[in-house]
Amino acid sequence: MAMLSRADTFIVDVPTIRPHVLAMATMHAQSMVIVRLIDADGVEGLGEGTTIGGLSYGEESPESIKSAIDTYIVPVLETCDIAQVGATMAKVAKCVRGNHFAKCAVETALLDLAGKRLGVPVSELIGGGRVRGSLPVAWTLASGDTARDIAEGEAMLEARRHRIFKLKIGKRDVRDDVAHVGAICKALGDRASVRVDVNQNWSEAQAKLGMAMLADVGCDLVEQPIAGDDVAGMARLSTTQAVPLMADEALHGPRSALRIAASHAAGVFALKIAQSGGLFATAEVAAIGTAAGIGLYGGTMLEGGIGTIASAHVFATLPELAWGTELFGPLLQTEEILSEPLAYADFSLAVPTAPGLGVSLDEDKLAFFRRDRTAPALH
Ligand code: MUC
Ligand code: MG
């Protein structure tokens, strides 16, 4: 039995190492909602709720995530034995509709706390437990400039950090975008897998043209080319185009996964813990995908260290992970707010073996990047 003794949420804003240019927003910083739950025995659980570009990516913003947790979810937690993660989240689901990112942040903190209480890593609390100790990690080339992207890709290959690259397209004319992708495929050749993410920015006609041209230049995968709620359009593209279509924004948990699978609307699922509504729901999305013969990819919302390692614990439980992961979020930020940085080496991320998530916060960095920090006194 564990009762909640304290719950804190903070928005932190950490600059990115370079502008990150996506179809719907250009990021100069990442904003993350950090959740810290402490039980009556003093055990701490950490969670993170992070989206991209304010409200330009999805229906939750950093501010709405924080307010949903503070105003509506914490009062429910106060009535629960929070050591029982499934039962607690079922009660939260009864009181709060939607708000998947906020729920995921809380579920992550509960799992961290439960793992610490039980002395096991979070991956052992999901599905059948851990089947791998490290995960292949892609990098997104999205500087907005082809030559700079090629130089960045070369540097990543040289450092043995990434050999899967995702390019963000959909902002420019289709032919210009394909020329950009083709130049990068040509430069990196068979040393890397090159994929694209359109972030829903094409019409079906543009997607038909774009996907056919992308197949010809050597692109391996096209992520969310059209609107995520256009399942019929995705099905037409997925069943007629040679290059596989990956569903991202279309996936909001098990029911949407089942709809997409039944409609043959994707060949690959981008699994995201926040979009799915939590770590347990992500495992269910993965199970639906695998049962339907859909390939799996471990996606990111460009989270910091906590959200990234929470995702890693889930992805580490998946026997089939044909497309790898893109858990590079902390590397896009100028600083990690963890006391120990995540371990990236040899094109992979190591999944911690310590109890819970296996990470802890650097309190000084947290204090520095907190949006509500009090300004230092002027002398
Ligand atoms: C997305 O849409 O997949 C993942 C990697 C990246 O650069 O942006 C994200 C979001
Ligand atoms: Mg995407």
Task: Read off the CATH number of the domain in which 195 is found.
Answer: 3.20.20.120
CA angle 109, 327, 338 (to 5 degrees): 50
Quick one: 50 and 175 in the same domain?
Answer: no
For 251, the 3-state DSSP assignment is: coil
Lookup: tokens for 68: 């949903």
Is residue 334 one of the residues assigned to a domain?
yes
Is residue 355 one of the residues assigned to a domain?
no
Return the residue matching tokens 């995705």. 234
Is residue 378 one of the residues assigned to a domain?
no
Helix 279-291 to helix 254-262 angle, to the nearest 10 degrees? 10
**Catalytic residue list contains 249:** no
Quick one: 153 and 216 in the same domain?
Answer: yes
Quick one: 90 and 234 in the same domain?
Answer: no
Quick one: 129 and 113 in the same domain?
Answer: no
What is the pLDDT of the chain when averaged over all its residues?
97
CA of 241 to the centre of ligand 1 (A): 22
What integer pLDDT is reported at residue 375 of this predicted model?
59
Q: 169, 170, 143: which is closest to 155 by C-alpha?
A: 143
CA distances from 282 to 94, 253, 274 (A): 19, 7, 9
On the question of pLDDT at 12 being above 60, the answer is yes
Identify the domain boundary among 97, 119, 141.
Answer: 119
Identity of the amino acid at 247: A
Is residue 376 one of the residues assigned to a domain?
no
pLDDT in tens, 334-376: 999 999 999 999 999 999 999 999 999 999 999 999 999 865 5
On the question of pLDDT at 233 being above 80, the answer is yes
Q: 222, 190, 197: which is closest to 208 by C-alpha?
A: 222
Residue ID of nearest Cα to ligand 1 atom 4: 300
**Catalytic residue list contains 326:** yes
Pairwise CA distance, residues 311 & 60, whole Å: 19
Is residue 140 one of the residues assigned to a domain?
yes
What value does the mean pLDDT take over residues 74-87? 98
Quick one: 114 and 23 in the same domain?
Answer: yes
Quick one: 115 and 180 in the same domain?
Answer: no
Kindly give the number of the ligand 1 atom that is closest to the alpha carbon of 52.
10
CA distances from 346 to 97, 123, 147, 160, 196 (A): 41, 22, 25, 5, 23
Identify the domain boundary among 101, 119, 137.
Answer: 119
Quick one: 293 and 159 in the same domain?
Answer: yes
Q: In this structure, what CATH number is given to the domain that contains residue 58?
A: 3.30.390.10
Quick one: 241 and 209 in the same domain?
Answer: yes
What integer pLDDT is reported at residue 157 of this predicted model?
98
CA of 197 to the centre of ligand 2 (A): 6
Is residue 195 one of the residues assigned to a domain?
yes
**Residue from 166, 221, 252, 327 to probe ligand 1 pocket by mutation (most atoms less than 8 Å from CB):** 166
Strands 295-298 and 344-345: unpaired
Pairwise CA distance, residues 339 & 359, whole Å: 8
Residue ID of nearest Cα to ligand 1 atom 1: 301
The pocket around ligand 1, CB under 6 angstroms, is made up of 52, 140, 142, 197, 199, 248, 299-300, 302, 326
Return the residue matching tokens 């739950």. 37
Burial 15-49 (b: 16+ CB within 10 A, else e): eeeeebbbbbeebeebbbbbbbbbbeeebbbbbbb
Identity of the amino acid at 214: L
Q: 206, 162, 188: which is closest to 349 by C-alpha?
A: 162
Contact 35, 49 (CB under 8 A): yes
What integer pLDDT is reported at residue 238 of this predicted model?
98
Number of domains comprising the chain: 2
pLDDT in tens, 24-72: 999 999 999 999 999 999 999 999 999 999 999 999 999 999 999 999 9
pLDDT in tens, 240-291: 999 999 999 999 999 999 999 999 999 999 999 999 999 999 999 999 999 9
The answer to whether the predicted template modeling score (pTM) of the entire model surpasses 0.90 is yes
What integer pLDDT is reported at residue 376 of this predicted model?
57
Q: 305, 239, 17: which is closest to 142 by C-alpha?
A: 17
On the question of pLDDT at 378 being above 80, the answer is no
Quick one: 177 and 96 in the same domain?
Answer: no
Quick one: 86 and 129 in the same domain?
Answer: no
344: left (phi over 0), alpha (psi -120 to 50) or beta: beta
Is residue 261 one of the residues assigned to a domain?
yes
In terms of residue numbers, what domain contains 48? 4-119
What integer pLDDT is reported at residue 144 of this predicted model?
86
How would residue 10 be classed by pLDDT, with cut points 50, 70 and 90?
Answer: very high
Is residue 309 one of the residues assigned to a domain?
yes
pLDDT in tens, 59-69: 999 999 999 99
Torsions phi, psi for 129 (to 5 deg): 90, 180
Identify the domain boundary among 119, 143, 161.
Answer: 119
Instruction: Write out the H or E segment, with its range, that includes residue 93.
Output: helix 85-95
On the question of pLDDT at 377 being above 70, the answer is no
For 21, the 3-state DSSP assignment is: strand
CA of 16 to the centre of ligand 1 (A): 14
Quick one: 113 and 139 in the same domain?
Answer: no
ipTM over 0.95: yes
Quick one: 12 and 132 in the same domain?
Answer: no
What integer pLDDT is reported at residue 162 of this predicted model?
98
